[in-house]
Structure 1
Amino acid sequence: MLKLKTFQVGDLQCNCSLVWNEATHQGLIVDPGGESDRIKEEVSALKIKITALLHTHAHFDHVGATKSLQEYYDCPAYLHRDDDFLIENLDRQTAFFGLPTIDAPEMTQLEESDKFLGVNTLHTPGHTPGSCCFLGDFQQGKVLLAGDTLFHRAVGRTDTPGGSKEQIKESILKKIYPCHPDTLVIPGHGSFTTIGEEREYNLFVRQ
């Protein structure tokens, strides 16, 4: 049985998630956006053995703690190759917000066919070219870790480098909305929602 805990980290309050197998305690960190010490404390309290770091995309607020955690846990960090250009320009990203530079982590290529502890990878370009979501069966039911692709009655912005309004709609309609309506959606920021609620009320995808 997979368990899940989500909490906010970093200057932009990224939803960082811990995913772990209740029996083996093997686990993942999804979108370690900042506050590496806080993340380590959460992992330690739950006695999780971290085997990988997963990223929905490469904006600085989702990778801020990656390098330090990668070194601490001696594990791979996964990112879709189409977001490599964002990792190479982390200094420009943080400079835009007037924040300190982040050391670029070493990333391992993430593919749509990849599974981690039974959690599936979906390539959902639009917010960024390499944006991905992670879909799995958890103790509380089906959960989609959506990054900045789908929000509560909104979608991720597409006016940053590599963004595409057409692509994000196509990703949501073809890869996310086919999920069961009761699927819990945990976005990259803000409150949680469900697939059913977004199908019915999310006007951004209909336009």
Structure 2
Amino acid sequence: MIFTGLEVGPLGTNCYIIGCAETGFGAVIDPGDEDARILEQLQHLKLKCQYIILTHGHVDHIGAVGEVHAATGAAVCIHQADAERLVNPARYSLLPVDSVKPKTADRLLKDGDKIQVGKTTLEVIHTPGHTPGGVCLKTEDILFTGDTLFAGSVGRSDLPGGSHNQLINSIKTKLLAFPDATKVYPGHGPASTIGAEKKFNPFL
């Protein structure tokens, strides 16, 4: 599997690009800003972007969706509970959204869905708490956790639609069930593992 990440935007959002080396198909996870850098990386990796997948609908994760979609034609995917945030970002954001182009989702995700990127399969895990439609994505021994789980921390739950109890329940019942060696790639900050978070994360 082809895999790389880049930090974008003023909040340092982790945007990830994955791809299938055999077919040349790829996907962008959380294009929060800096569309030119994301598109340049896709070109560098020689990937045809099939999907733009959003772990949730906050503006720092969706800021470059419109531009990346326009350049690639990739299908935009988000959980159905966060879909309105794509269409009306100003209603849900505490940050400026002047440059964010509203975009109707092409595919509404639900728990257990599979997204096929060439011969690479991503499993959708619904993990509400940070937002109602927050999801994590599992492929091979990797978890993309968005703003649900960070290295040594967890996502905020004090924003509209958030719930701390729901967030902790999502993490403990769904994410911590994976093997300790599972790699955690969050929406902000450094990578970790499930084992490290079980042992050291003070919120868990």
Please give the TM-score of this superposition, normalised by the length of structure 1: 0.92
1-side partners of 2:84 and 2:73: how far apart?
A: 24
Give the secondary structure class of the aligned counterpart of 2:43.
helix
1-side partners of 2:128 and 2:160: how far apart?
A: 12
Q: 1:85 Cα deviation (Å)?
A: 3.4
1-side partners of 2:175 and 2:144: how far apart?
A: 11
Contact 2:55–2:78 (Cα < 8 Å) also in 1: yes
- Structure 1 residue identity aligned to 2:98: P
Q: 1:92 Cα deviation (Å)?
A: 4.3
Contact 2:90–2:97 (Cα < 8 Å) also in 1: no
| Correspondent of 1:118 among 99, 118, 121 | 121
Give the secondary structure class of the aligned counterpart of 1:203.
coil
1-side partners of 2:87 and 2:71: how far apart?
A: 22
1-side partners of 2:162 and 2:185: how far apart?
A: 21
Give the secondary structure class of the aligned counterpart of 2:52.
strand
**Hey, what does 1:136 align to over in structure 2?**
139
2-side partners of 1:49 and 1:6: how far apart?
A: 16
Contact 1:67–1:104 (Cα < 8 Å) also in 2: yes
1-side partners of 2:69 and 2:97: how far apart?
A: 21
CA separation of 1:29 and 1:23: change in aligned 2, threshold 3 A? same
Question: After superposition, where does 1:142-157 map in structure 2 within 5 Å?
Answer: 142-157=141-156
Q: Which runs of 5+ in 1 are unaligned?
A: none
Give the secondary structure class of the aligned counterpart of 1:79.
strand
Would you say 1:178 and 2:166 are equivalent positions?
Answer: no
Please give the TM-score of this superposition, normalised by the length of structure 2: 0.93
**Hey, what does 1:37 align to over in structure 2?**
36
Would you say 1:106 and 2:104 are equivalent positions?
Answer: yes
| Correspondent of 1:127 among 90, 109, 130 | 130
1-side partners of 2:75 and 2:95: how far apart?
A: 28
> Which range moves more in the overlay, 114-123 or 35-44?
114-123
**Hey, what does 1:188 align to over in structure 2?**
187
**Hey, what does 1:47 align to over in structure 2?**
46
Q: 1:105 Cα deviation (Å)?
A: 1.4
Residue identity (%): 35
Question: After superposition, where does 1:18-97 map in structure 2 within 5 Å?
Answer: 18-93=17-92, 96-97=94-95
Contact 2:148–2:167 (Cα < 8 Å) also in 1: yes
Q: Which runs of 5+ in 2 are unaligned?
A: none
